[in-house]
Amino acid sequence: MLYSIFHLGRNMIGVPIYTILEIVRSNKFHQVKGAPEVIDGLINLRGKVVTVINTGIAFETHKVVVSDESRIFIFKNNAELKELTDIDSDDDMSPDNIGLHVEKIEGVINVEKDELQPVPANMAHPFYQHVVRRGEDFIIILKPSKAIILNSTETVKP
Amino acid sequence: MNPNQDIQFNIYNPVITYEHRAAYDMIVSQLQEIFPICNQGKCKALEVTDDPQKQKQINDLMEKVEYFSDSLINITKVFFDQLYRAKEGSSESISHSMAKIKIDMMERSLLERTCDVRWWALEKAFWQCIEISNASQGKEAKSKAGAKTASASACQQAVDLACTRLEDIRSSYTLYRDLVIVNAHGIVVANSNADRKHLVLGLDVSDEAWFQHAMQTKDGTDYHVQDIAHSKIEEQASLIYATAIRADGDENGDVIGAMGVLFDFQGECQIILNDYLPKAANGDMLDGWFSFFTNSQGKVICSSDQHFIPFGASPELPRSHRHLSKPGESQVTTGIFFGNRSLLVSYHTAGFNEYPGLGWTSHLVLPIHAIFERASDSKVFGITPKELMSSSLIPAQNRQTYQEIQRNKGDIQLISINGIVLATDLGKAGKSFMPIFDQITETGSSTTGKMELLLSEMSADMLQQNLQALTNLSQQAIELIDRNLFERAADVRWWSTDHVLWESLQAKDKKHLEAINKRLQIINASYTMYRDLVVADASGRIVANSKVENHDKLMGMSVADQYWLRQGMQMSKTTHYAAQDVCDSELENENTSLIYCSAILENGQRSGKPVGVLGILFDWENQAQPILAACLPRINNEVAHGGAAFYVNRDRVVIATTDETHFPINQVVNIPTENVNLKDGHTASGLFSANGRKYIIGSSGSHGYREYKGLGWTAHVVRAID
């Protein structure tokens, strides 16, 4: 399966390609008054309103700021995910399209099923699903369904 | 070259290096390969899905890829154009300042010469000799030819004394090939060069322009410079400074003769012209590099390569270079020079201070290929290409190109990933898109990666060129101060031989000591670079000084334990001198002192026992400051951001600075050790961080000048790059 990779501080995080609707440059956000800090704001994607979560704040590292390298991963909503015929997924996404604001993307990797390893206990985090080894590096595979429920609540503590 | 000109990049331009031509070809051909791939993608979209929305999305993506590829091809051209222009621009600027440095250096030296001749012409031995010679020649004309008169031996004695004093001057100021004094009839009566005495004495120079002009000078402050011309006095072309010798050494007295000093122009020029020219490992000058001066008629007066550009030749320079006439006017062009495509730089003298110069022009020629030679990797200086690219060393437009390339790289990456997202949505049918997007990703990162490499190469070159420019400036700073201090070393040696000094010290009475005070006052009034001149007797007590305000404080003061006095009392020859490095001295109240000293020898002999010491207190801060200010790095005549220049002594302490805030005087300097621990005449450059800023630095160690050996100082020129 293909995974798109982004950077979070020193870590590399992967999300399954099939859950992504599109990746766009981050630019301006429409601020939402009273929204929790983890929400960067709203963006308009060809008529769709997308709520954008700041990945840095969500993971309690550092706030991701708009730069030449920053991007937004826009995830499919439930309906869009169900339309996929060839994908066998039990992920339950949000009814709306949600975006993750990340500081830098890396590219796409193909990971075979047997490469997916459980997250070591000392790294356990509700958003993490698996760990993949690539040479000297580890890539954390994210469970998007967990990460994107943040939009309706305050920051979820692990 | 105007940086705003339209793109001129042409792959067939011979200055483009083979490596760059290959890189350009590869980038463009890889980008052009993307167009058929995109067409293939558009066709496949129709093949694998009936969904018009999906078809449109794929189509849009392919068009975006085409757009960015096209944009990258254009940026590549712009980028190469900028790369070459940046190198050319920076080389032009460095070459221009090099041509200027050379003529400035010469003019400063020539200005000193005008002071020398006016001062020496007042020497008692000379006007007395001329008076006797004029009188005896008049008598000889009246008496029978060959008949010896009673005054002949008096005349011979006067000539011998004049010759001795001229020799003393020449041994103190080694910049002169000969010095002559000429009587009113135009006959050379004394000279300084013993080897040529038999050829020079008795010569009639009454028909030579320098003599005629000297005899017409208004008063003791007036002088004449004879531009490079042939004189009977020597075989090679001469540059002669001349003034009148007046009755009783009075500045306003009647003209009784003339003094001419023949400057070692060729020797001096050779040092200056060969400076800053690159040399091969065996020490030979690199081919294709030339430096030469032309006079106001456009004729060569000295060159770094006599074989190609001999004296008197009219070099094949473009008309615009030959007709420079306004002070400071310059011209930079490219053209063919002795078969090489070269950068030609010409700079017309602006004189120095009140000295207007003789209308000479400095020319520098370097082969074009030298401009585009590869520099070393910037990593050796401990700075990453990315840091360098965002530094102030890189021109704004190059920084923009870098950002544009980065942006396009990001866009292509984004399109590829979104394409893969789309292909995934198409399920199994979408798999056939994968190789297409893989290819797009691969091409995108490969081409932009190549461009980033070229950008880092360019930034490394810019760094190298800027370091070279700073090194040249630091070399100029140390050479100017070395030359200046050489003059001081010459002054102190010559003044210490003055008859008033030794006669008075030996007489030891009040009347005589008062005479030293007066003599020192006259000397110091003629020069602007000394704060005070002091004479101490053999016991180490000060007996006279030039500055009236300090007189009461200094008289009788014991300086026996001071370095300059101890050094002076150990000397036994008039050619000896010593310098006490910049420090606080009780001889002065406010400023730090730089003291030059020489022994006053018994009976005014050339070697013997000291009867006292002459110490001259150089006006260090006020003389060093303008030199450093002239060596600051400039961009369009403005001092570069964070630019500073300073001198450091052998104890690593700053002794003069243009930036009292960041590199203060009397403090140990905070720059890398390798820049301070320089061997004589060696240079170093690099990067360092200090005061919360990142700097680039060029440093040069003193290698002295002629007999002046230097005091182990180093000069440093820096500019901030963040």
Question: Same domain, yes or no, for B223 and B259?
Answer: yes
- Amino acid at site B254: D
- Distance in angstroms (rounded) separating the CA atoms of residues A94 and A91: 10
B427: left (phi over 0), alpha (psi -120 to 50) or beta: left
Write down the pLDDT at residue B139. Answer: 62
Can you give the CATH number for the domain in which B666 is found?
A: 3.30.450.20
CB contact under 8 A, A23 and B417: yes
- Distance in angstroms (rounded) separating the CA atoms of residues A48 and A52: 12
Span B504-514, pLDDT tens digits: 999 888 888 88
- Distance in angstroms (rounded) separating the CA atoms of residues B402 and A75: 32
The answer to whether residues B500 and B516 touch, using CB atoms and an 8 Å cutoff, is yes
Question: Same domain, yes or no, for B293 and B329?
Answer: yes
CB contact under 8 A, A107 and B425: no
Question: Same domain, yes or no, for B609 and B648?
Answer: no
**Which stretch of B83-97, B158-172, B699-713 has the lowest confidence by average pLDDT?**
B83-97
pLDDT band at B142 (very low <50, low <70, confident <90, very high): low
- Distance in angstroms (rounded) separating the CA atoms of residues B496 and B615: 9
Q: What number of C-beta contacts closer than 8 Å exist between A and B?
A: 44
- Distance in angstroms (rounded) separating the CA atoms of residues B250 and B222: 13
The answer to the question of residue B519 being in a domain is yes
ipTM attached to this prediction = 0.91
The answer to the question of residue B104 being in a domain is no
CB contact under 8 A, A22 and B421: yes
Question: Same domain, yes or no, for B253 and B118?
Answer: yes
Span B309-346, pLDDT tens digits: 999 999 999 999 998 999 999 999 999 999 999 999 99
| pTM as predicted | 0.80
pLDDT band at B456 (very low <50, low <70, confident <90, very high): confident
Question: Same domain, yes or no, for B511 and B458?
Answer: no
pLDDT at B12 over 80: no
Full domain range(s) for residue B308? 276-371
Write down the pLDDT at residue A158. Answer: 41
Interface membership of B427 toward A (CB under 8 Å): yes
The answer to the question of residue B350 being in a domain is yes
Interface membership of A22 toward B (CB under 8 Å): yes
pLDDT at A91 over 80: no
Exposure of B619 by Cβ count < 10 A (0-12 exposed, 13-18 middle, 19+ buried)?
A: middle
pLDDT at A152 over 50: no
pLDDT band at A155 (very low <50, low <70, confident <90, very high): very low
Question: Same domain, yes or no, for B69 and B152?
Answer: no
* CA-to-CA separations, A3 to A130, B409, B435, B436, B520, in angstroms, rounded: 12, 20, 16, 18, 89
Match 């406010």 to its residue by tokens: B590
Give, in words, the CATH class of A2-152.
mainly beta
pLDDT at B473 over 90: yes
Interface membership of A84 toward B (CB under 8 Å): yes
**Which residues of chain A neighbour B403 with C-beta distances below 8 Å?**
68
> Per the structure block, which two tokens stand in for B535?
């004479």
Q: Residue range B299-305: average pLDDT?
A: 93
Final residue of a domain: which of B595, B618, B641? B618
Minimal Cα–Cα distance from B373 to chain A, Å?
Answer: 33
* CA-to-CA separations, B493 to B169, B172, B173, B549, in angstroms, rounded: 9, 6, 9, 25
Match 């963006």 to its residue by tokens: A43
Q: Within its chain, how far is the Cα of A14 from the centroid? A: 8
The answer to the question of residue B103 being in a domain is no
Minimal Cα–Cα distance from A18 to chain B, Å?
Answer: 6
Q: Percent of chain B at pLDDT above 90?
A: 42
Show Cβ contacts of residue B273 under 8 Å, excluding neighbours closer than 6 positions.
B102, B291, B292, B293, B302, B303, B304
pLDDT band at B378 (very low <50, low <70, confident <90, very high): low
Interface membership of B425 toward A (CB under 8 Å): yes
Interface membership of B592 toward A (CB under 8 Å): no
Q: Residue range B452-468: average pLDDT?
A: 83
CB nearest B414 (choices: A2, A18, A25): A25
Question: Same domain, yes or no, for B545 and B603?
Answer: yes
Q: Where are the alpha helices (DSSP H) in B426-509?
A: 434-495, 499-507
CA angle (A26 as vertex; A65, B444 as ends), nearest 5? 110
> Per the structure block, which two tokens stand in for B66?
């085409």
Interface membership of A130 toward B (CB under 8 Å): no
Span B582-605, pLDDT tens digits: 887 788 766 678 999 999 999 989
Q: Residue range B168-191: average pLDDT?
A: 93
**Mutation site, A66, A88, A108, A110, interface B, largest B CB count within 10 A:** A108
The answer to the question of residue B565 being in a domain is yes
The answer to the question of residue B604 being in a domain is yes
pLDDT at B150 over 70: no
- Distance in angstroms (rounded) separating the CA atoms of residues B3 and B86: 8
Write down the pLDDT at residue B199. Answer: 94
Q: Which residues pair with B654 in a beta bridge?
A: B648
- Highest-pLDDT range among B264-278, B378-392, B451-465, B651-665: B651-665
The Cβ of residue B190 has, within 10 Å, a number of other Cβ atoms equal to 28
CA angle (B180 as vertex; B167, B184 as ends), nearest 5? 140
* CA-to-CA separations, B342 to A78, B287, B349, in angstroms, rounded: 69, 11, 22
Question: Same domain, yes or no, for B288 and B262?
Answer: no
pLDDT band at B357 (very low <50, low <70, confident <90, very high): confident
Match 């499919």 to its residue by tokens: A76
CB contact under 8 A, A87 and B441: no
Q: Given 3-state DSSP classes, what are the helix, strand and coil percentages for chain A, each rounded to the nearest 5?
A: 20, 40, 40
CB contact under 8 A, A21 and B413: no
Spans of all domains in chain A: 2-152
- Distance in angstroms (rounded) separating the CA atoms of residues B536 and B548: 16
CB contact under 8 A, B427 and A86: yes
Q: How many domains are there within chain B?
A: 5
Q: Percent of chain B at pLDDT above 70?
A: 95
Write down the pLDDT at residue B504. Answer: 92
**Mutation site, B417, B436, B441, interface A, largest A CB count within 10 A:** B417
The answer to the question of residue B378 being in a domain is no
Final residue of a domain: which of B587, B618, B649? B618
> Per the structure block, which two tokens stand in for B218?
């208004």
CB contact under 8 A, B413 and A107: yes
Would you say how long chain A is, in residues? 158
Q: What is the mean pLDDT of chain B?
A: 87
pLDDT band at B294 (very low <50, low <70, confident <90, very high): very high
- Highest-pLDDT range among B436-440, B453-457, B491-495: B491-495
Q: Which residues pair with A57 in a beta bridge?
A: none
- Distance in angstroms (rounded) separating the CA atoms of residues A144 and B134: 111
pLDDT at A154 over 70: no
The answer to whether residues A77 and A85 touch, using CB atoms and an 8 Å cutoff, is no
pLDDT band at A157 (very low <50, low <70, confident <90, very high): very low
pLDDT at B138 over 70: no
Q: Residue range A50-63: average pLDDT?
A: 89
Phi, psi of B137 (to 5 degrees): -65, -35
Sheet holding B224-229, edge to edge: B188-191, B176-183, B255-263, B238-246, B224-229
**Which stretch of A96-105, B287-296, B381-390 has the lowest confidence by average pLDDT?**
B381-390
Q: Residue range B215-234: average pLDDT?
A: 91
CA A110, A114, A115, A120 dihedral sign is positive
CA angle (B263 as vertex; B261, B269 as ends), nearest 5? 170
Nearest to A143 by CA among A65, A63, A97, A89: A89
Exposure of B150 by Cβ count < 10 A (0-12 exposed, 13-18 middle, 19+ buried)?
A: exposed
pLDDT at A151 over 50: no
Span B610-648, pLDDT tens digits: 999 999 999 888 889 989 998 999 887 789 889 999 999
CA B484, B489, B494, B499 dihedral sign is positive
Question: Same domain, yes or no, for B603 and B525?
Answer: yes
HSE at residue B602, side-chain half, CA atoms within 13 A, is 6
Show Cβ contacts of residue B195 under 8 Å, excluding neighbours closer than 6 positions.
none
Question: Same domain, yes or no, for B157 and B227?
Answer: yes
- Distance in angstroms (rounded) separating the CA atoms of residues A61 and A40: 15
Question: Same domain, yes or no, for B505 and B551?
Answer: yes
- Distance in angstroms (rounded) separating the CA atoms of residues B599 and B540: 12
Minimal Cα–Cα distance from A121 to chain B, Å?
Answer: 32
